[in-house]
Copies of this chain bind each other. A is one copy, B any other.
Amino acid sequence: MPLPQPDLPEPAHPEVDSMLSRKFGKEIANYFSGSPLNRVGFLRPDHAFLSQAFKHPSTSFLLFNNLEPLIQSPTALFFANFSDVSSIIGPDPFAKSEEDLIQEYNSEVYYPQIIFLGLDERKHGFVYKERYKGQPFFAVDVTPRKSVTNAAEELIKKMEGRGLEFSKGRMNLSLQAQEATIYAEARHLLDWNARNPFCASCGYPTLSVNAGFKRTCPPKDIAPSISMPNRPPCATRTGVSNLSFPRTDPTVIMAVVSADGQKILLGRQKRWPKYWYSTLAGFLEPAESVEEAVRREVWEESGIYLGRVVIHSTQPWPYPANLMIGAIGQAIPGGEDIHLGHDAELEDAKWFTAEEVREALRVGTSGLGEEAGPEYKEGGLRLPPKTAIAHQLMRAVVDGFVSGAPMM
């Protein structure tokens, strides 16, 4: 059977007034989570599997140009087929085993990055070893670069001739929810591979393996310009090194309530539109629990001292590689004075009443570059849209997450 998924609505365009987060048990599934794909990650080292999946007629290819996905509209990705991409990646990029690829490594040969994203088990067609079934999804980097410059430019022109385009800038959270999860997985991995062409342990170029989910530091390099093909020893070749695996940066984001549970703390950055506030957030540091990171960040940014911290939900955030861990924190009595002088991150931080936040969630939400809704009145509080975990955390607080009863 397919892996169970939270019930995400379609379409999920932010202008449509539909709840983006539904309960899965007690769980909130935030935007960018709830993927329809089974990643079958244990099959990634199996080149026979990848080769068959890559060439299956049902297979869908998401194309990226400089990390921008090919779309047919602001709410929908475009999925190309094998014949569209074969001019760039050849007839069978997974024909060889990883052992052979490492053995024949040549740092001067350019391979466009390919990511195996997973199988959509709801769609029939492709079957591997009887047990693994579904429509395969891949991402392919078609950025015009090095040896594929001409072929990639032609492909891009062809796609644009069909009325398609590569999205400009962030997707602005407009994609239909399940497609957003596929885009997020692809973008996170393409970005990681692009940022890590060299081994941080020894400084030599690395090779993508495991269909984009691993990079390895080959022991030799047969590039003609290299006089000594054998490289010095590298620590990543002995044992398991996290440098070989994609990076995800844990981030904490938190709705802070006052000690009496009646007020909510929000902050704003200078570059945001007027009247716009949101929850505080920051990166988890080494050797911190999530709860400690929440207390530290809130104190650093606002001077407020938190006691109780409860984790609410999580959200993948592919800009470039974050896991947002959403929490609700409660100030301790006497610890509610705002001080912005520790670090310089916020322009302002302020306590709002639950009533102000509730009203702003009703009339004042929008994407960062968009107008607030028609009922919004100039000067009122503006807040992020439902696709943002910040919004879901504020919603949880005014709906009574802390006390069990809605706040007045």
The yes or no answer to A41 lying at the interface (CB within 8 A) is yes
Q: How far is the CA of A216 from the CA of B391 in the complex (A)?
A: 35
User: Which of A49-57, A80-88, A171-179, A285-293 forms contacts with chain B?
Assistant: A285-293
Say yes or no: A287 contacts B242, CB within 8 Å.
Answer: no
Known: A195-B201, A197-B200. Contact between A296 and B242, CB under 8 A?
no
Q: How far is the CA of A199 from the CA of B290 in the complex (A)?
A: 28
Q: A292-322 interface mask toward B, CB cutoff 8 Å, 1 = contact, 0 = none?
A: 1001100110000111111101111010110
Say yes or no: B1 contacts A335, CB within 8 Å.
Answer: yes
Known: A203-B204, A286-B192, A290-B323. Contact between A332 and B198, CB under 8 A?
no
The yes or no answer to A219 lying at the interface (CB within 8 A) is no
Known: A192-B286, A323-B250. Contact between A305 and B4, CB under 8 A?
yes
Interface hits, A232-250 → B, CB 8 Å: 235, 241-243, 245-250
The yes or no answer to A196 lying at the interface (CB within 8 A) is yes
Closest partner residue, chain B, to A334 (CB atom): B1
Q: How far is the CA of A37 from the CA of B187 in the complex (A)?
A: 37
Q: Quote the shortest CB–CB distance from A342 to chain B (angstroms).
A: 6
Chain B residues in 8 Å Cβ range of A184 = 287
Residue of B195, B204, B314 touching A289 (CB-CB under 8 A): B314
Q: Quote the shortest CB–CB distance from A318 to chain B (angstroms).
A: 6
Known: A6-B291, A242-B247. 6 other contacts (CB 8 A): A4-B295, A25-B308, A25-B309, A27-B309, A27-B310, A184-B287
